[in-house]
Amino acid sequence: MKKIFSAMICLIVSCYVQSQEKDVRITQLFNFGWEFKAEAPSDFPKMEEQVPPEGDLGGIWIDLPHDFQIGQPWDASAKSARGFKQDGAGWYRKTFQANSAWKGRRVLLDFEGIMLYGDAYLNGTKIGETNYGYLGFEADITQLLHYEGENTVTVYASTVGNSRWYTGGGLYRDVYLIVKDSIAVARDGVYITTPEISEQSAEIAVQVEVEGMRGKSDDISIVARIYSPDGRQVGEAETAVPQKLKSRTVEVPLPKINIANPQLWSCETPNLYSVEIVLKNREGKVLDNVSETFGIRTILYSKEFGFKLNGKKIFLKGIANHHDLGAVGVAAHEFAIERMFKKLKEFGYNHVRCSHNPYSKSFLKLADKYGILITDELYDKWSNKDYWSGVERVKWTESVFHDLPEWIKRDRNHPSVIMWSLGNELQMREDLAGFPTNDWGITTYRMLDVLVKRYDNTRPTTVAMFPARAGGMTKENPDFNIKIIPPELAAVTEISSFNYRWFNYQDYLKHAPDMIIYQSEATTNELARPFFGMDREKMIGLAYWGAIEYWGESQGWSRKGWNYSFFNHALEPFPQAYLIKSIFTDEPVVHIGVVDKPSESREWNDQTIGTLNVSDHWNREAGKNYDIYTFTNADAVELFENGQSLGVQQNDTALEKRNMILWKNVPYKAGKLTAVARKNDREVARHEIETAGKPVALKIETENPGWKADGMDLQYVKVYAIDAKGRICKNFSGKECRFDVSGAAKLIAVDNGNHESDELFAGNKRLLHNGFAMAILRSAQTVGEVKVKASVEGLKSADIKLITK
């Protein structure tokens, strides 16, 4: 009994000590209760002269993340590249009380990003700025705090500047308030690598950057504890921090930690370990405590096999998009990202190239969770002028030495990140290729590669190249298809990344046979050809450009952005999405696509772009014939109309036709159109579309079963118009759908997936498009019931009760 009692005391003391350890650092989400007021944007030079307004702004009350630009009117006179939104600006304001317990400690504000750039103030004093809105900064506000009365944070954000796509605007990512000891783990100061891995064991190397030890002789030790994916402690190491330092911070390596039977991180089994870092003094007092997740995995590249993950050949099957998320704009809502990853995984994707800038922390956290392989990209061009957002405030040649370490240190512990991309499409003009060394960026690349490896030497670097030849030769040059020589920089980078031109890769290899090739952009217009046309045994993979619709880079009003895509901006798939699924997965696939009008194509970026105009409903014009595609990875498809066979066609393995069988001039008859896919004469998949009747009602579906009452989580409520038999009426558009929401959530956006709509996403009404509308709800910070009702005049309404958890 005495032994049991002693054990209980030890357990209680242990739990108490660990609780104390976790309480020493305060990391408080600072997203709630901001005021925002839009104003006309200032020119660049005036940004440094901004004076934060005093008192209430007289604006609207919002919670972060927030994209003010998505709420601006669509404007046909604005730049199509910027999503037909005029440049905008605005002030954010938030007040808070400083806790007297913070005295004697450091207090910081951590801004993950201000778009496109901006300045932050506390109590009227400038505390920080960003000139490249895709990266954040930390501001020490210790000396500026008022412990009697309120403190006021104000932030100015502007979208004026150089960008060739929709950037969004404002405090579009998270803000945190951090309270910690003067001796603490530095910002992004934990670095975890796994230098040795086998089935039996894994060696974990942990390095901790400590700040606050300059000139001090305190006895400080660092403890690192490793926890398995199920939360068990599986390893520990401890070491002392050097004393009397002359530098502001010191990077301290801990003894290697060996763990038995490691659970590897992969696309199929994305196992995540965590490391807890504790700083304590000689008396055992805990000074700081932070945790990081990581994965145990190996990556290997070679011209012989492309890419291997954990010793297994993997071909990257991905997308390359900009960072906006449909109706919420660029506001980095975690569930908006999560639903995208779920959809991509469903369709066989395993990869995202983050073009052309770092995405949010939550994006990479979710990539780790879902086993998505990431090409993490820092910049578009390397220029002090064109394409650089901070033109009048700081030069690119100055900013890069701040941006690159911030980026690498922020992202280096993510197992999903397998490649660092330093830039995009430099082989257009030599003044877009970095420092003026007259070598198409080779010297600049080598400098940046050294800097990358100062902070992480476990991943290769690359630069995505414009579809041009050596010497910057572009398509209009008559020798373009004669002198097929790869760009100079592509022959030097560790990974040779090419945007498009997959049919030239074998010619490129004749000139530079050691290249390891990655198709960093593939055109959706070519459908499956960029995939089948690559040497998939020896090359790394590909990323389809604009596979999901995004804002900006429109090919003309009234399209609000890129829409040569496989999914619309609401993540509803177009029929050709199933063609890509048929090449990306082993799952048997067949899907019908009815040709609505001729395909369209045009020249853009020295590349032919366009789309196959197909849809998958069977409400058509009587007496008319239609061309029909069946997208499949089976051997053959038999097509039936109302039970009558229209014949059997084999899956042609020719590059232009593979997995897409064309049925010409099929007479329309109301009823059912059925595609039956067979392999070895056995049915393996079936898809049927049916003529829907008159819409009579609405039905509701939701996406987030684990909707959290944290004030941050989103719920997507999708509404479909249906006929008397419950069939979706995909040809029904134009009627207004009204959403009424009450309870523990608020409505933040409405959508219908129509990229040409002039409607804004605010409010509670949206026209149905193809029988579809959607409401996006944000939870309150308290658990409760949420009631949603969708109404369309003349149809039976639909309602649902939800509970936040």
The rounded distance, in Å, linking the Cα atoms of 122 and 781 is 26
Q: Which residues contact residue 10 at a Cβ distance below 8 angstroms, ignoring those fewer than 6 apart?
A: none
In what helix (H) or strand (E) does residue 344 lie, and over which residues does it extend?
helix 334-346
388-400 pLDDT per residue, tens: 876 668 899 999 9
Alpha-carbon distance of 770 to 318, in angstroms, equals 27
Please tell me the predicted confidence (pLDDT) of residue 793. 98
Contact 797, 790 (CB under 8 A): yes
What is the C-alpha separation between 434 and 439, in angstroms, rounded?
Answer: 10
Lay out the sheet containing 299-302: strands in order across: 299-302, 306-309, 312-313
Rg (alpha carbons) of the chain, rounded to whole number:
28
DSSP assignment, residue 639? E
509 in Cβ contact with 516 (< 8 Å) = no
If we measure between CA atoms, which residue out of 172, 112, 137 comes closest to residue 399?
A: 137
Q: Tokens 């490129």 map to which residue?
A: 508
User: Per-residue pLDDT for 53 more than 70?
Assistant: yes
Return the residue matching tokens 């100062």.
454
Give the number of other CB atoms < 10 A from CB of residue 590. Answer: 25
What pLDDT does residue 48 have?
Answer: 57
Q: 380 in the Ramachandran plot: left (φ > 0), alpha (ψ -120 to 50) or beta? A: alpha
User: Which residues, in sequence order, are bridge partners of residue 280?
Assistant: 221, 286
State how far the Cα of 538 lies from the Cα of 540, in Å rounded to an integer: 7
When pLDDT is cut at 50, 70 and 90, the band that residue 55 belongs to is: confident
pLDDT class of 6 with cuts at 50, 70, 90: very low
Q: How high does pLDDT run on average in the chain?
A: 95
Instruction: Provide the 3-class DSSP secondary structure of residue 643.
Output: coil
CA atoms of 650 and 635, how far apart (whole Å): 6
**CA-closest candidate to residue 555, choices 565, 546, 564, 547:** 564
Tens-digit pLDDT profile for residues 203-214 = 999 999 999 999
Percent of the chain with pLDDT over 70: 96
The beta strands (E) that lie in 622-712 are given as 625-632, 636-641, 644-650, 660-667, 672-679, 682-690, 697-702
Q: In 3-state terms, what secondary structure has residue 362?
A: helix
| Tokens matching residue 137 | 């900064």
Torsion sign over Cα 12, 13, 14, 19 = positive
Residue 71 has pLDDT above 80, yes or no: yes
DSSP assigned state of 382: B
Q: CB–CB of 584/542 below 8 Å? A: no
